[in-house]
Amino acid sequence: MEATVTVKGIDELERSMRDMVKLYPDMAGDCLRSEAIKTRKDIVKNARSDTNTRSKSRMSLGRIGSYRVSQVQGYNERQYVEISARSPHFHLVERGHQIKVPYHFTYKNKITGEKIRRTWKNGGQIKGRVEGKFFLKKAKDDEQERFPMFVSQMVDEMIKKAGF
């Protein structure tokens, strides 16, 4: 006794799966980059509200141009995008810092006899602390809530493009 089963459409299913595998890297990279750009906007919005700044300075934390979004790096499931700050004082505002008054000392030059005032930069008296604003962390937390929905939309779009 012999039984044969014929399944129609297996070749089409296989072709659609291969198309989806080919579509994934580009679509995932585009989605990562667009979400990073949205996150950068959130960072700027948080920086403006938390630091109460509207500065036109090139290094201001309240400007889009103060943050750089890298191109997509990596491949397949290991893709990532970096957001970096161009402002040299970013880490001080983000995480907070101590306020130090440097030590000054005066000595007499043995040859000329004049008094010379010097400052020790590594040391000093701590006068207080400025708490961090954590606007990057707030934007990252907001993005983590939004990201699953965004990924599911990308997968739905990829399924449609692949012909399912």
Q: What is the pLDDT of residues 119-140, one digit of tens each?
A: 777 777 888 999 999 988 999 9
Distance CA 128, CA 2 (A): 88
Asked if residues 83 and 43 have their Cβ atoms less than 8 Å apart, the reply is yes
Distance CA 100, CA 124 (A): 6
DSSP 115: E
> What's residue 42's pLDDT?
93
At how many degrees (to 10) do helices 135-162 and 10-51 cross? Answer: 160
Which residues are paired to 106 by β-bridges?
117
Q: Is the pLDDT of residue 3 over 90?
A: no
Q: Is the pLDDT of residue 36 over 90?
A: yes
Mean local confidence (pLDDT), 39-65: 84
Residue boundaries of the structural domains of the chain? 10-89+133-162
